[in-house]
A and B are shown apart, each in its own frame.
Chain A
């Protein structure tokens, strides 16, 4: 059961590789990486929360609000740049500040008040979507700020600068989560809250940290969202949420111990993007793609729940 998602996914990849011959060309692979960027960044945030909160799908760590937070920050930045004539620094400060506030809200709801992360972040996600609509009046805002255009188009030796920046970001997240004392503590809390507490680590503090890190990921993703869409588009959080959950838990299915890891989540994001591009290349209807992604989410989450049960 635990290897089922990975096996099915590999089969899908082989099938796509055979039926969509251009999928493995360099230009398509670079397209796949580029389209995976916002998902990969929000996945880094979700991976931190799952690592700190434990990977029990119901009671463990989860943050469903990261995509909505990213879209909110993007909307505020776009609104400031275009409608209020703010400079880039002010716009970024306000947008990313709002994202961080969402992180604080999640931390308070979960750690201080003791709500289930699933419900708390679902609620904050709905709130973020609502604020986005107020800020943008549900309207699209075109952004052509040089920095946003640079992030969209710039290349370094033939490789997209945005892809390189995302790779660097993943490296920073990796070092922080997997190679520092603080990261080890965070993972210890996720592994066993009681054991961590006994050894003098404060689970509450680290869980609060993880929600803040998720918000930082959302804030960073917002800039790449603006670049990808040449502006802010209300409603773009839905697809991002679906891909984030699928990618993060799919990544776990590929990791040696079947747990959520940083690299697993990033790999998951790339694979999900590959799947989307592959299905479209062979002409699969967009609604079927949605069905298949939904079924895959069920499969990876069910498999994670099952292997959790086995472990106990």
Chain B
């Protein structure tokens, strides 16, 4: 056990002070013994007097917005002054925004997502003595990366999809980011790793590539083309390798073409896609839901831990919730506090 398990959302949780205190103390002792580093009680963390840049690649999608707001809210709650910048779903703009944070002389940067274009910006921040805390972007120039358990996500969605297909058939995959983003490399790579044990499942070549902006509409068009190319009986499933915004367009296309026998699987599980999964006879059968808000909050708390002198592990993993079938979607929807379906 490490101190990571003490990370809890500060708002919306039930307070059991005594129990929490004892647990925190235990965890602190264990961590201190294990790592010989000071571990600060979550209640004592502060960002008082600190200007914290929070950069996000875009705020159009639930995931990005939640992680962004989670980080902003936690910075405020810890007494810091957040400096938000939004890339408008453009990776280049997102990368350039880090220059602006540098020239604004912030005390730390929380950077959410981003592709290779941000690396030199992280390096410049590090060289200027500004620590960088990344979300879903493992970087040699960052102090710590907060992310979901991508390994578990990749293997779980592989197993669920293989089961839903009955262990055989043809699957098309939207896979634009396996080579560009490490988190996607892990998720899609492990999905493929699982499929090695299902010799009767064939991944259709060439793989498809979805667009980063306007993903649902782009995926809808590409799915309609795919359906023309593979008539009924020749296509059994469509998987999205790293996220699930394209799945919205895929399901739309399947419904338009009357091909809802084709199964859909994807990753992220925000309320928008869980709602689609919960519909009766939805082709969207499996997902793994993340907790983006908690991820953003955790990144902000990690910044506070860093300033308190704690030495952080390279990565902090936040739990994910596997979603299997419509009932699973309803349960996770409720569990994550999105309401009732």
Interface residues of A (CB under 8 A from B): 22, 25, 27-28, 31, 34-35, 137-140, 142, 152-153, 228-231, 233-236, 238-239, 277, 280-281, 283, 285-287, 290
Q: Which of A231, A235, A290 contacts B212 (CB 8 A)?
A: A235
With A31-B100, A287-B88 already in contact, the answer to whether A230 and B116 are too (CB < 8 A) is yes
In the complex, are the beta carbons of A239 and B120 less than 8 A apart? no
Q: How far is the CB of A101 from chain B (nearest CB, A)?
A: 25
Give Cα A238–Cα B91 distance, bound, in whole angstroms.
Answer: 12
Does chain A have a CB within 8 A of B281?
A: no
In the complex, are the beta carbons of B90 and A235 less than 8 A apart? yes
Q: Which of A22, A233, A287 contacts B92 (CB 8 A)?
A: A233
Q: How far is the CB of A83 from chain B (nearest CB, A)?
A: 10
User: Which residues of A have CB within 8 Å of B100?
Assistant: 31, 277, 280-281
Does chain A have a CB within 8 A of B107?
A: no
Does chain A have a CB within 8 A of B211?
A: yes
User: Which residues of A have CB within 8 Å of B87?
Assistant: 286
In the complex, are the beta carbons of A231 and B211 less than 8 A apart? no
Give Cα A228–Cα B86 distance, bound, in whole angstroms.
Answer: 18
In the complex, are the beta carbons of B103 and A25 less than 8 A apart? yes
User: Which residues of B have CB within 8 Å of A142?
Assistant: 116, 180
Q: Which of B102-138 contact A (CB under 8 A)?
A: 102-105, 115-117, 119-120
User: Which residues of A have CB within 8 Å of B180?
Assistant: 139-140, 142
Give Cα A229–Cα B84 distance, bound, in whole angstroms.
Answer: 21
With A231-B116, A239-B90, A280-B85 already in contact, the answer to whether A35 and B99 are too (CB < 8 A) is yes
With A31-B100, A283-B83, A286-B86 already in contact, the answer to whether A153 and B93 are too (CB < 8 A) is no
Interface residues of B (CB under 8 A from A): 59, 83-88, 90-93, 95-97, 99-100, 102-105, 115-117, 119-120, 176-177, 179-180, 206, 209-213
Give Cα A79–Cα B90 distance, bound, in whole angstroms.
Answer: 20
Give Cα A28–Cα B100 distance, bound, in whole angstroms.
Answer: 8
User: Which residues of A have CB within 8 Å of B206?
Assistant: 137
Give the nearest-CB partner of B218 in chain A.
A138
Q: How far is the CB of A281 from chain B (nearest CB, A)?
A: 6
Q: How far is the CB of A185 from chain B (nearest CB, A)?
A: 38
In the complex, are the beta carbons of A138 and B209 less than 8 A apart? yes
- 10 closest Cβ contacts across the A-B interface? A138-B209, A286-B88, A286-B86, A142-B116, A140-B180, A28-B103, A229-B117, A137-B209, A280-B100, A31-B99
Find the residue from B97, B100, B119 having the highest chain A CB count within 10 A. Answer: B100
Give the nearest-CB partner of A27 in chain B.
B103
Give Cα A290–Cα B84 distance, bound, in whole angstroms.
Answer: 16
In the complex, are the beta carbons of A233 and B117 less than 8 A apart? yes
Q: Which of B59, B116, B119, B120 contacts A140 (CB 8 A)?
A: B116
Q: How far is the CB of B106 from chain A (nearest CB, A)?
A: 11
Give the nearest-CB partner of B85 in chain A.
A280
Give Cα A277–Cα B93 distance, bound, in whole angstroms.
Answer: 11
User: Which residues of A have CB within 8 Å of B95?
Assistant: 229
Q: How far is the CB of A265 from chain B (nearest CB, A)?
A: 21
In the complex, are the beta carbons of B92 and A229 less than 8 A apart? yes
In the complex, are the beta carbons of B92 and A236 less than 8 A apart? yes
In the complex, are the beta carbons of B103 and A283 less than 8 A apart? no
In the complex, are the beta carbons of B90 and A236 less than 8 A apart? yes
Q: How far is the CB of B209 from chain A (nearest CB, A)?
A: 4
28 A–B pairs (Cβ distance < 8 Å), ordered by A? A22-B103, A22-B105, A28-B103, A31-B99, A137-B176, A139-B179, A140-B115, A142-B180, A152-B120, A228-B92, A228-B117, A229-B91, A229-B92, A230-B119, A231-B115, A231-B117, A233-B92, A234-B211, A235-B213, A236-B92, A238-B90, A239-B92, A239-B93, A280-B100, A285-B86, A286-B85, A286-B86, A290-B88
Give the nearest-CB partner of B91 in chain A.
A233
With A31-B99, A230-B116 already in contact, the answer to whether A281 and B88 are too (CB < 8 A) is no
Give Cα A287–Cα B84 distance, bound, in whole angstroms.
Answer: 13
Give the nearest-CB partner of B56 in chain A.
A286
User: Which residues of B have CB within 8 Å of A152?
Assistant: 120
User: Which residues of B have CB within 8 Å of A137?
Assistant: 176, 206, 209
In the complex, are the beta carbons of A153 and B83 less than 8 A apart? no
User: Which residues of B have CB within 8 Å of A287?
Assistant: 88
Give the nearest-CB partner of B175 in chain A.
A139
User: Which residues of A have CB within 8 Å of B102?
Assistant: 31
In the complex, are the beta carbons of A138 and B210 less than 8 A apart? yes
Give Cα A296–Cα B180 distance, bound, in whole angstroms.
Answer: 35
Give Cα A238–Cα B105 distance, bound, in whole angstroms.
Answer: 30
Give Cα A281–Cα B83 distance, bound, in whole angstroms.
Answer: 8
Give Cα A267–Cα B308 distance, bound, in whole angstroms.
Answer: 46
User: Which residues of A have CB within 8 Å of B209?
Assistant: 137-139
Give Cα A31–Cα B95 distance, bound, in whole angstroms.
Answer: 13
Q: How far is the CB of A39 from chain B (nearest CB, A)?
A: 12
In the complex, are the beta carbons of B212 and A230 less than 8 A apart? no
Give Cα A236–Cα B97 distance, bound, in whole angstroms.
Answer: 15
User: Which residues of B have CB within 8 Å of A22?
Assistant: 103-105
User: Which residues of B have CB within 8 Å of A238?
Assistant: 90
With A235-B212, A290-B88 already in contact, the answer to whether A31 and B103 are too (CB < 8 A) is yes
In the complex, are the beta carbons of B116 and A280 less than 8 A apart? no
User: Which residues of B have CB within 8 Å of A283?
Assistant: 83-84
User: Which residues of A have CB within 8 Å of B213?
Assistant: 235
Q: How far is the CB of A279 from chain B (nearest CB, A)?
A: 10
Give Cα A231–Cα B119 distance, bound, in whole angstroms.
Answer: 11
In the complex, are the beta carbons of A280 and B117 less than 8 A apart? no
Give Cα A286–Cα B88 distance, bound, in whole angstroms.
Answer: 6
Give Cα A239–Cα B89 distance, bound, in whole angstroms.
Answer: 11
Give Cα A230–Cα B86 distance, bound, in whole angstroms.
Answer: 20
Give Cα A138–Cα B211 distance, bound, in whole angstroms.
Answer: 7
Give Cα A35–Cα B103 distance, bound, in whole angstroms.
Answer: 13
Give the nearest-CB partner of A34 in chain B.
B99
